[in-house]
Amino acid sequence: MNTENLISFDNVTVSFWQNNMGVHSIKDLVSHRKNPFTNKTILKNISFDVKRGECMGILGRNGSGKSTLLRTIAGLIKPQEGTMTINGTFAPILAIGAGLELELSGYENMNLLLSLYGKSRKDTNAIQSIVEFSELSDEVLRMPTKRYSSGMLARLAFSISVANDSDILIIDEILAVGDQGFQVKCMEKIYQVKAEGKTILFVSHFPDDVVKICDTAILLENGVISHRGDAKIICEQYKSLF
Ligand SMILES: Nc1ncnc2c1ncn2[C@@H]1O[C@H](COP(=O)(O)OP(=O)(O)O)[C@@H](O)[C@H]1O
Ligand SMILES: [Mg+2]
């Protein structure tokens, strides 16, 4: 593995303003004496490095901040404190129910995401590789994605992610909903991407998959990295939470 850091986080803190008092209109707002918005810290003092070619697992309970961390890495969220350095290009982050435009068809989503991530819409090789990998029919790919099952969405999302020739592949729990055949195919593809020397960030609730793919891992608990190190050891820590 290369020693160059592709991703460096130094004391990064991310917080959101949340409306916790059911205020949905201006009338609600003026009838409230107090400010209904509270500032909630989601990620606290996060520090870690990922080397080029490293595959890092991100584990943690629901709501512990995994997706927020990925979205921060991808530049979709700006941290309030700390510094982060990213030295590579990304595949789009496609999580279950996020990243795809549900009013658009499968083909339209492919075109949109390919052009957003720097590929030409007319890149017929990329389109063909997405279609082939997804094993979705032409009829399905013409339908709005809001009519897809969660497994069909996962097929499309994963296929688009791996069609991008970027330095960093980000996988946020999309494998869990595919059928077994597709899961096996995705794992094989991830091994191949890893063998090509790409960097992978892998969020999964299946420690066995994390151990198979990842070299290192972090465990997030309430927005804090509670454990960080060898993937096998961190997976044991994760299992001991339940
Ligand atoms: N855009 C947002 N605005 C306000 N709160 C958010 C936003 N995105 C995530 N959160 C909150 O951040 C916390 C962590 O969420 P998330 O990163 O999705 O967790 P995980 O992926 O580990 O399940 C949750 O409490 C969630 O409600
Ligand atoms: Mg998540």
Local structure of 59: helix, strand or coil? strand
Nearest CA residue ID for atom 25, ligand 1: 63
Local structure of 49: helix, strand or coil? strand
CA 53/CA 193 separation, integer angstroms: 10
Nearest CA residue ID for atom 13, ligand 1: 63
The model's pLDDT over 97-132, given as tens digits with 9 standing for 90+, comes to 677 899 999 999 999 888 877 776 667 888 999 999
Distance of CA 12 to the CA centre of its chain: 18
Span from the CA of 42 to the centroid of ligand 1 (angstroms): 7
pLDDT at 133 over 90: yes
- Give the total number of structural domains in the chain: 1
**Could you list the residue range(s) of the whole structural domain that residue 104 is in?**
5-239
Q: Is the CB of 64 under 6 A from ligand 1?
A: yes
pLDDT at 75 over 90: no
CA 193/CA 223 separation, integer angstroms: 29
The model's pLDDT over 26-66, given as tens digits with 9 standing for 90+, comes to 777 777 666 777 889 999 999 999 999 999 999 999 999 99
List the CATH number of the domain containing 119.
Answer: 3.40.50.300
Beta strand 55-60 pairing with 199-203: parallel
